[in-house]
Structure 1
Amino acid sequence: MSGSLTPVEEAIAHLLSQASVITETRHLPLTESFDRILAQDYHVPADVPPADNSAVDGYALRAEDYVPGQALSVSDRIPAGSAPSPLKPGTAARIFTGSEVPAGADTVIMQERVEVTDSGILINAEVKADQNIRRRGQDLAQGSLALGKGTKIRAQEMGLFASMGVSEVAVVEKLRVAILSTGDELVEPGTPLAQGQIYNTNRFTLLGLLAEAGCDVVLCETLRDTRSVTRETLERAAAQADLIITSGGVSVGEEDHVRAVLEESGKLSLWRMAIKPGKPLAFGSINGTPVLGLPGNPAAVLVTFLIVGMPYIRTCQGRVQIHPVGQQVPAAFTVTSPSVRKEFVRARTESASGDTRVCAYPNQSSGVLSSACWAGGLAVVPEHAMVAEGDLLTYYPFTELLS
């Protein structure tokens, strides 16, 4: 395995080329479908709305029956949910928001522009056809594609399904992921620290990230720093999971066993990426199950998961949108020492006097996870680049990176 650094885009492309799309599906009630991925296309079974309906409370009439200053008698009252009779010529019908417009009517005048008199209604507004009417099929036309395979179901999609009368949807099974933390120094929160010990931060960061990514964690263990335990646990995880994610153990130290086991007993197809933070990133497989080896430093785990891991997971899920969409925002910080690695700066946008700029956390050490709690996303500093205040940088909000 070469010691050269793989560019970020090349590394992502390699991972995506190795991704296997999940083929297992299940049908879920619409009430349980939030945040799942559609396994098939859905076409509109019937027009939405199913009939012309009123957009306001008011009066339905035929525009040509309106004569300025002349009252129109009210011949009907149409509450929402009722089937209206055809409108009698030369009259108006009292109508409410969402009520079906009666045959013969071609406009609705809102009640605020109408004066009710003993002889009928007087209209104090311009009257023309098609006012305040939501036409049949205006939202969705029968037979058209409503939602495509690979769409992530949000609240909006749940509502759209309901509007079509769909009560059950086909979704992709969740990706099964094993989390393996490495290091004899790691202990769980709630345990007093002995000298030389630290809390297992990465386990909990990854649990949260994978939950947001819509994955199931099927195994979550801490590996002791021995070659045999690392090999046995990786092989056991491979039998249970679609993807194994490790943190630590992929650098060049004598106690970094994950990379060594992949080289000896599996396959290592990527190691060391030109990214900051997170250079010691590895990708390979054990017994046919892909292994994504993340660095050990907490901020590097977060960054590499978001930048490399999430596109891979989205591809496995069959998602439509694989890559995040960034914003171009002027920098409020400087970079005077160019790096050979692309840097993902923990940052957030701030506005002053109508001017929005992206600000960097002062300490960008890969061990400073508090920077990510302060930040709203990641700003990208390209390889070999210096940054002056006001230079445009690509900024990815965390919400976009995890959507």
Structure 2
Amino acid sequence: MPETAPHSPADLTTLLAGLPGYDADALSAKQAQQIIRQFIQPLHVPEKLAVRDALGRILAEDVVSGIDVPAYDNSAMDGYALRSADLPDNAPAVLSVTGIALAGKAFQGIAERGECVHIMTGAVMPAGLDTVIPQELVQHAGDAAITILPGRIRPGANRRFKGEDLAMGKIALAKGKMLRAAELGLLASLGIAEVIVQRRLRVAFFSTGDELRSVGETLDEGCVYDSNRYTLYGMLSRLGCDIIDMGVIPDDPVLLRAAFENACLSADAVITSGGVSVGMADYTKPMMAEMGDVAFWGINMRPGRPMAFGKVNAGAGSARKSAYLFGLPGNPVAVMISFYFFVRDALLHMAGASPAPLPLVGVRSAAAIRKRPGRTEYQRGILSTAADGNLEVRITGSQGSGILRSMTQANCILVLGDAQADVAAGDLVQVVLFDGLL
């Protein structure tokens, strides 16, 4: 199946023209997220995998159940299968035990009125019996008979019906679902050995800057080790992407152009860090504009104001190719914040998933927080349980965008919206938990 091409420039122009208050250098966080969400198109390149190899992959088509789950009425408990009609309202019931039903070995006889069957969890319900009383609720249990006190069990209890989990012909897993451990188990329960998934998204990334050194190189005066490629590697790996690490690209227009072209030709999306600001050696921004169509350059947010999004083009004729572009800031924390709140969902959507927004949880602020209205702020926080048993959050300390250590101390991000002003101790704030992200 051919891959779906990104939107044309005209689509982007139309999209931006319909956005109230559009300013490519000063969008609100919500406007930026809206542009990305509307401009991104998913790729459609399916492949067949064995179920065990499909963990973390995204379904390319609906999975329809070919069987009923469960395949037969069965017991949800270890106990005794009986007729509810044999239980009088105001007197103990004495029922004869006529046999036993085991999981995988059904009771073959017929239970008459006044009889019950000793049954194990998962065993087929004997014909004519409609209720299972757990062993521990039986007043007296012998080999030949049991005694049940009135009111101990309601009719129909502890009976699992054929197809109640999933009926034959129904959609078991919808297209766009990411396959986790539970989904693999469900597929196996349907007897499915292979599944059609989207191919992995290919993402190329590189850092820019003469001051950057890779791990293992000598750290010259005025230089720093490049951490952004390592955080990007980790975040992209968690999303199940095929990763192309292109290293550090110096502040050289010729080398930068070559990097963009190679990345575009080999990947579905390109992520850069650094070079999208207005410094004298920031060549990434003009290179992006020259090679493609950029929707915006800046977001009213902290950290991470300088961020670009659009697409770049490379090649000619039938070999011409486009790739979505995410130009992230250079500061380490800003890279991670920008990725989680603007890039993550876009990549999942490109990969064929149907991502839900990161869930926001309202919790109490343990202390006052300074906040200037007019921009969205993403502050690193530590969520804990206060003495009164309620959840509360405090920031990690200094919120400088270069303090990467703060991300290792935090377990959540406070999301303070555009209109939010200073926060007082005890005020409710919204947080996104790191659990499952980092």
* TM-score normalised per structure 1: 0.93
Q: Which residue of 2 aligns with 1:369?
A: 404
Q: CA offset at residue 83 of structure 1?
A: 3.2
8 Å CA contact 1:72, 1:122 repeated in 2: yes
CA deviations over 1:159-188 (Å, ceiling 9, x no partner): 222222222221111110001111122222
Amino acid of the structure 1 residue aligned with 2:366: A
8 Å CA contact 1:177, 1:242 repeated in 2: yes
**1:379 has 2:417 as partner:** no
Q: CA offset at residue 333 of structure 1?
A: 3.1
- Structure 1 residue aligned with 2:394, among 342, 359, 369? 359
8 Å CA contact 1:219, 1:237 repeated in 2: no
Amino acid of the structure 1 residue aligned with 2:258: E
1:211-222 correspondence runs (5 A):
211-222=237-248
8 Å CA contact 1:61, 1:87 repeated in 2: no
Matches of 1:284 and 1:254, distance apart in 2 = 23
- Structure 2 residue aligned with 1:235, among 236, 240, 261? 261
- Structure 2 residue aligned with 1:194, among 212, 220, 232? 220
Q: CA offset at residue 318 of structure 1?
A: 2.6
1:50-89 correspondence runs (5 A):
50-66=71-87, 68=91, 71-89=94-112
Q: Which residue of 2 aligns with 1:394?
A: 430
- Structure 2 residue aligned with 1:290, among 324, 329, 340? 324
Q: Which residue of 2 aligns with 1:102?
A: 126
Q: Which residue of 2 aligns with 1:47?
A: 68
Amino acid of the structure 1 residue aligned with 2:128: G
1:264-303 correspondence runs (5 A):
264-287=290-313, 288-303=322-337
Q: 1:176 to 1:72 in 2, by over 3 A?
A: same
8 Å CA contact 1:87, 1:105 repeated in 2: no
Secondary structure at the residue paired with 1:47?
Answer: coil
* Higher mean C-alpha displacement, 123-132 vs 77-86: 123-132
Amino acid of the structure 1 residue aligned with 2:95: L
Q: CA offset at residue 314 of structure 1?
A: 2.1
Q: Which residue of 1 aligns with 2:360?
A: 326
Matches of 1:49 and 1:3, distance apart in 2 = 55
Q: CA offset at residue 101 of structure 1?
A: 0.8
Q: 1:276 to 1:71 in 2, by over 3 A?
A: same
* TM-score normalised per structure 2: 0.86
CA deviations over 1:256-281 (Å, ceiling 9, x no partner): 11112112233332101111000111
Secondary structure at the residue paired with 2:435?
Answer: helix
Amino acid of the structure 1 residue aligned with 2:296: L
Secondary structure at the residue paired with 2:306?
Answer: coil
CA deviations over 1:53-96 (Å, ceiling 9, x no partner): 11111222223335655643322221110233243303222211
- Structure 2 residue aligned with 1:122, among 147, 150, 159? 147
**1:203 has 2:226 as partner:** no
Matches of 2:295 and 2:279, distance apart in 1 = 19
Amino acid of the structure 2 residue aligned with 1:254: M
Matches of 1:3 and 1:293, distance apart in 2 = 14
8 Å CA contact 2:362, 2:430 repeated in 1: yes
Matches of 1:181 and 1:118, distance apart in 2 = 75
Secondary structure at the residue paired with 1:72?
Answer: strand
Matches of 2:31 and 2:353, distance apart in 1 = 20
Secondary structure at the residue paired with 1:181?
Answer: strand
Matched residue count: 402
Matches of 1:370 and 1:57, distance apart in 2 = 53
Matches of 1:249 and 1:4, distance apart in 2 = 15
Unaligned runs of 5+ in 2: 1-21, 314-321
Secondary structure at the residue paired with 2:366?
Answer: coil
Secondary structure at the residue paired with 1:344?
Answer: strand
Amino acid of the structure 2 residue aligned with 1:310: R
**1:341 has 2:375 as partner:** yes
Q: CA offset at residue 327 of structure 1?
A: 1.2
Q: CA offset at residue 241 of structure 1?
A: 0.4
Q: 1:89 to 1:397 in 2, by over 3 A?
A: same
Matches of 1:86 and 1:104, distance apart in 2 = 11
* Higher mean C-alpha displacement, 15-24 vs 65-74: 65-74
**1:313 has 2:347 as partner:** yes
Q: Which residue of 1 aligns with 2:10?
A: none
Matches of 2:164 and 2:380, distance apart in 1 = 44
Q: Which residue of 1 aligns with 2:136?
A: 112
Matches of 1:156 and 1:117, distance apart in 2 = 40
Matches of 1:161 and 1:3, distance apart in 2 = 46
Q: 1:253 to 1:77 in 2, by over 3 A?
A: same
Secondary structure at the residue paired with 1:268?
Answer: strand
Percentage identity across paired residues of the two chains? 37
Amino acid of the structure 1 residue aligned with 2:147: L
Matches of 2:372 and 2:62, distance apart in 1 = 47
8 Å CA contact 1:177, 1:243 repeated in 2: yes
Matches of 1:131 and 1:2, distance apart in 2 = 62
Matches of 2:30 and 2:276, distance apart in 1 = 20
Q: Which residue of 1 aligns with 2:8?
A: none
Amino acid of the structure 2 residue aligned with 1:122: T
Q: 1:70 to 1:176 in 2, by over 3 A?
A: closer
CA deviations over 1:195-244 (Å, ceiling 9, x no partner): 22211100000000001122110343210110100001110111100000
Q: 1:189 to 1:74 in 2, by over 3 A?
A: same
Amino acid of the structure 2 residue aligned with 1:15: I
Q: 1:14 to 1:95 in 2, by over 3 A?
A: same
Q: 1:20 to 1:168 in 2, by over 3 A?
A: same
